[in-house]
Amino acid sequence: MERIFKRKLYDRLLEWKNIQNGKTAMLIEGARRVGKSTLVEQFAKNEYESYILIDFLEASDEVKSLFNNLMNKDFIFLQLQAIYNVVLKERKSVIVFDEVQNCPLARQAIKYLVKDGRYDYIETGSLISIKKNTKDIYSPLSN
């Protein structure tokens, strides 16, 4: 049963990637410790040339502070590539915001990052924590 469930979720991610083509972000929300992060990382490895997974439970203050000011997206992307030692490729890379409820400014930034159009974005987080920690934040997400 678990394999069928994971396959169904993986297929839904693939459908999102192929149909939306970067026009929306994907939000994977649910209970803690059910495999959201594992599924998303497997998807990123299999379906993109490169990816950055930002785990906001462990991310440094330097990483979190990148989302304080979105005026220079080139700087943000260069910093992320340097910090995570990954080369992002336009329309061939995904940036994953794992446990996004721990960085509300990153969640809010999704709207502008998606509009920029260079990369795909997937967010994961606890259902309860997302609702509690992002009250009053607008984000045009597909779920």
pLDDT at residue 87, rounded to an integer? 98
CA distances from 63 to 10, 52, 90 (A): 28, 12, 21
Q: Which domains does the chain have, with CATH numbers?
A: 2-142 (3.40.50)
pLDDT at residue 142, rounded to an integer? 40
Other beta carbons within 10 angstroms of residue 62's beta carbon come to 9
pLDDT at residue 105, rounded to an integer? 95
pLDDT at residue 12, rounded to an integer? 93
Mean pLDDT by 10 residues, the chain (143 residues): 71 94 92 86 97 96 96 97 98 97 94 96 77 46 41
pLDDT at residue 8, rounded to an integer? 87
pLDDT at residue 7, rounded to an integer? 81
Q: What is the pTM of this model?
A: 0.86
pLDDT at residue 32, rounded to an integer? 80
CA distances from 113 to 57, 77, 132 (A): 21, 10, 23
